[in-house]
Amino acid sequence: MKLSKHSVSLAAIILLAGGCASMSGAEPMAAKPMAANPMVGGAAMYPTKNIVENAVNSKDHTTLVAAVKAAGLVDTLMSAGPFTVFAPTNAAFAKLPAGTVDTLLKPENKATLTAVLTYHVVPGTLTAADLAAMAKANGGKAVLTTVQGAKLTVWGKDGKWYVTDAKGGQAQITIADVRQSNGVIHVVDSVLLPG
């Protein structure tokens, strides 16, 4: 499956699992200031570097980086974008059933891996404030179309923000607004799956 520059968003999801501002509620999410150079996985995330340049330094995102490489999405994620990535951490991948990640990383499963990764990417740059405004304007839920083509829904409850996938699975946004030169990353605590 050949991906356009806009498909980079998919890969960006995987690589951009780090973040800088915690999302703690509908209004606070939009109002939280961003750190200049947030630390993710023991490494600073610099807004002057692209998704790949930042992600390879995070010890918390080695699974994501390996998946991006296996899917052949590195060049895409280094492109201009911009992309919004809902990036799962190593711990998020560890929640999948035993053997899932190893199976996805096999060459014969590249198309499936690419679909999963691109499902975490949305074209354009959507900050926490943008997502909160979209949700407020749409009855509390922001519905986004991913690079993969399926929908994600972002919503807030009890001071926390979540993303619901096409299968009804939920991930909490734990760190928002990790700025990159080619977009923004929001760290999530679970892997999102297309329908």
How confident is the model over 51-98, as pLDDT tens digits? Answer: 777 777 677 667 877 787 888 878 776 778 899 989 898 999 999 999
Three-class DSSP labels, 71-136: CCCHHHHCCCCCEEEEEECHHHHHCCCCCHHHHHCCHHHHHHHHHHHHCCEEECCCCHHHHHHHHH
* pLDDT surpassing 50 at residue 148: yes
Domains of the chain, first to last: 5-188 (2.30.180.10)
* Contact in structure between 84 and 120 (CB atoms under 8 Å): no
How confident is the model over 112-143, as pLDDT tens digits? Answer: 999 998 999 999 999 999 999 999 999 999 99
> Is residue 118 classed exposed, middle or buried when 0-12, 13-18 and 19+ CB atoms within 10 A define those classes?
buried
Residue 56: closest CA among 71, 77, 36, 85: 77
CA–CA gap between residue 155 and residue 73 (Å, rounded): 28
Residues near 153 by beta carbon (within 8 Å), at least 6 away in sequence = 141, 142, 143, 144, 163, 164
Beta strand 121-123 pairing with 141-145: unpaired
**Structure pTM?**
0.80
Phi, psi of 122 (to 5 degrees): -120, 135
CA–CA gap between residue 87 and residue 61 (Å, rounded): 9
